[in-house]
Chain A
Amino acid sequence: MSSMISVSALRKTYKSGLVALDGVDLEIEKQEIFALLGPNGAGKTTLISIICGIVGIGSGTVRVGGHDITQDYRAARAMIGLVPQEISLDIFATVWNTVRFSRGLFGRRPDPAYVERLLHDLSLWDKRDRRVIELSGGMKRRVMIAKALSHEPQILFLDEPTAGVDVNLRRDMWALVRSLRDKGVTIILTTHYIEEAEEMSDRVGVIAGGRVLLVEKTVALMRKLGKRRLTLMLRHPLAYLPSGLDPWELELDQQGQVLTYAFDANAEDNGIPALLRRMAELGIDFHDLDTSRSSLEDIFVGLVEHAA
């Protein structure tokens, strides 16, 4: 029972008949950063919205910190802070008031010192008396984050937090996410920036068509599914691949100057030393080489295509 969030057999069909979630099981551990990846319409936002209480639960159960979100919704929701995808703010309220309002909604006593610290952390302190309508898009998003954190939640949901966000804010946001995790907060994010999920998250869940296709430690996932690629820049163009290189199943680009070799990063023998020896024997000379890992994006696209 160490799961912070426990979702089982969750199904959701909207009134339009759209099946948004088709039997989701998911366990999220305390104090982890969990990235939910999926194409548009995969069910990411529906899943988050159900856990947070914004969308009605179809069937199945969801527990947050051990509290059932229907039976014990107060205890469950009190633990959660949510930053939705869309910026929705009372544009006439001041930054200070709107953040204080959020804290009050969660039944927390006013704590000006905490709110002040929060606004400092999000570079909003100077703008505290401004009305939301006067703020830039990036600042508004910071206000959304401040509101979500106003009641000191133990779980933070970030729905597409970096969509349309500049580099500064993105960097600040990730710094904040890491420091929150260090303080014991569990973070669940959805993102299209897969490099970020790869860089930020401890675990990744891939969701498509309302189903969770896999959940894996980010590192393990990379290792398990990650192919690596060796690219060789040839000194002299090749007209065709010599048959002596057949065992490696190489690819030659159209100009005949770049050779690519895809290999399993985890294999005992990746075949590279033998390849290089054979090339030397054949007199194929190269002036540069590069190796790269296939990104989570490749893995992700592969998985989703496979599932479709």
Chain B
Amino acid sequence: MTPARLNRHAIWTIYRAEMARMRRTFWQSIATPVVTTVLYFVVFGGAIGSRIQHVGGVGYGAFIVPGLIMLTILTQSVSNASIGIYFPIFTKTIYEILAAPLSALEIVLAYVGAAATKSVVLALIILGTATFFAPLHILHPRWMVAFMLLTAITFSLFGFIIGIWAQNFEQLAIIPSLILTPLTFLGGAFYSIDMLPQPWRTLNLLNPVVYLVSGFRWSFFGTGEVGVRLSLAFTGVFMGICLAVVGWIFKTGYRLKP
């Protein structure tokens, strides 16, 4: 058996190339989400928020910050990771990755790591931008970072799976736009789910994003719709599922190795 030494050079090589790709598409990668988020702040925080005042004892402008950041992390992680792995499959340069002395773990670490890094960087930029629009006090900064990382990694794994599954650019775009964005909107990014009428409120408890946003919001304000343990447990379970699927992909060679 091969000694279990990580091919660090290779991980670093892929990671750096992925980060370079982000720099190459700077406007697409950084500017677009920031502009979109500023728009959300102006519309939801400024225009609408001025009529809502408080949600659960928190000013509306501040209230939507965790939701917005979550929205960014979710969509960016999925799209970064899916494009990151789809691109070499599409251009067939994946042959080089497959022929290199790399384990599945190393490939995943490099691609998912780069995608998660990008979305965390974006999340921090948006957090910085948010301070211009709303007074922010983060109650549990460590937990906030932990939630951020955990979500970014989990959804980058999810994006990695989508990137391998997708057979064309349409399929690549369909999951983020058709599933992720609606779930995030319904998941309480801009309101407390307690504000929803029944049966929507109960139904929404099946929406995974509710738990992510709630836990993240707790790290800011100390309150959330569902318990923080439940939020963590849910994220952990979803990460476990993604890891299992990635493991299966490499074991069977699904769409990577004929």
Chain A residue at minimum C-beta to C-beta distance from B91 = A88
Instruction: Give Cα distance in the complex from A92 to B24, angstroms.
Output: 9
Contact yes or no, B91 A101, CB < 8 A: no
Contact yes or no, B12 A104, CB < 8 A: yes
Is B229's CB within 8 Å of the partner chain A? Answer: no
Is B1's CB within 8 Å of the partner chain A? Answer: yes
Is A44's CB within 8 Å of the partner chain B? Answer: no
Contact yes or no, A106 B10, CB < 8 A: yes
Interfacial chain B residues near A105, Cβ < 8 Å:
10, 13-14, 96-97, 100, 102
Chain B residue at minimum C-beta to C-beta distance from A110 = B9
Q: A73-B2, A107-B9, A107-B10 are in contact. Are A88 and B93 (CB under 8 A)?
A: yes
Interfacial chain A residues near B100, Cβ < 8 Å:
77, 105-106
Is B98's CB within 8 Å of the partner chain A? Answer: yes
Is B95's CB within 8 Å of the partner chain A? Answer: yes
Is B92's CB within 8 Å of the partner chain A? Answer: yes
Interface residues of A in 97-123 (CB under 8 A from B): 97, 101-102, 104-109
Is A89's CB within 8 Å of the partner chain B? Answer: yes
Contact yes or no, B96 A55, CB < 8 A: no
Instruction: Give Cα distance in the complex from A306 to B102, angstroms.
Output: 43
Instruction: Give Cα distance in the complex from A76 to B1, angstroms.
Output: 11
Instruction: Give Cα distance in the complex from A183 to B92, angstroms.
Output: 31
Interfacial chain B residues near A82, Cβ < 8 Å:
95, 99
Instruction: Give Cα distance in the complex from A97 to B21, angstroms.
Output: 12
Instruction: Give Cα distance in the complex from A76 to B12, angstroms.
Output: 21
Interfacial chain A residues near B174, Cβ < 8 Å:
none
Chain B residue at minimum C-beta to C-beta distance from A151 = B100
Interfacial chain A residues near B12, Cβ < 8 Å:
104
Interfacial chain A residues near B10, Cβ < 8 Å:
104-107
How many residues of B are in contact with the other chain, CB < 8 A?
Answer: 29
Instruction: Give Cα distance in the complex from A280 to B201, angstroms.
Output: 110
Interface centre among A15, A52, A101, by most chain B C-beta atoms within 10 angstroms, is: A101
Interfacial chain A residues near B101, Cβ < 8 Å:
73-78, 106-107
Instruction: Give Cα distance in the complex from A75 to B2, angstroms.
Output: 7
Interfacial chain A residues near B8, Cβ < 8 Å:
107
Instruction: Give Cα distance in the complex from A72 to B3, angstroms.
Output: 9
Instruction: Give Cα distance in the complex from A56 to B93, angstroms.
Output: 17
Contact yes or no, B253 A74, CB < 8 A: no
Is B17's CB within 8 Å of the partner chain A? Answer: yes
Q: A104-B13, A105-B13 are in contact. Are A54 and B24 (CB under 8 A)?
A: no
Instruction: Give Cα distance in the complex from A98 to B138, angstroms.
Output: 43
Is B131's CB within 8 Å of the partner chain A? Answer: no
Q: A53-B99, A102-B96, A105-B100 are in contact. Are A90 and B13 (CB under 8 A)?
A: no
Instruction: Give Cα distance in the complex from A144 to B8, angstroms.
Output: 24
Contact yes or no, A86 B92, CB < 8 A: yes
Is A248's CB within 8 Å of the partner chain B? Answer: no
Contact yes or no, A55 B99, CB < 8 A: no
Q: A54-B99, A101-B17 are in contact. Are A108 and B9 (CB under 8 A)?
A: yes
Is A14's CB within 8 Å of the partner chain B? Answer: yes
Is B7's CB within 8 Å of the partner chain A? Answer: yes
Q: A15-B258, A86-B92 are in contact. Are A54 and B98 (CB under 8 A)?
A: yes
Contact yes or no, B258 A90, CB < 8 A: no
Chain A residue at minimum C-beta to C-beta distance from B21 = A92
Q: A71-B1, A72-B2, A74-B2 are in contact. Are A56 and B14 (CB under 8 A)?
A: no
Given A80-B99, A107-B9, A147-B96: 11 more A-B contacts, CB < 8 Å = A15-B258, A53-B98, A54-B257, A55-B257, A71-B2, A77-B101, A78-B101, A82-B95, A92-B21, A106-B101, A109-B9
Query: Can you pick out 23 interface pairs between chain A and chain B where the beta carbons lie within 8 Å of each other?
Result: A15-B258, A53-B98, A55-B257, A71-B1, A74-B103, A75-B2, A77-B99, A82-B95, A89-B91, A93-B17, A97-B17, A97-B20, A104-B9, A104-B10, A104-B12, A104-B13, A104-B14, A105-B97, A106-B9, A106-B100, A107-B7, A107-B9, A109-B9
Binding site for B on A (CB under 8 A): 14-15, 52-56, 71-78, 80, 82, 84, 86, 88-93, 97, 101-102, 104-109, 147
Q: 10 smallest A-B Cβ distances: which pairs?
A: A104-B13, A88-B92, A105-B100, A74-B101, A77-B101, A74-B2, A107-B7, A107-B9, A52-B99, A56-B257
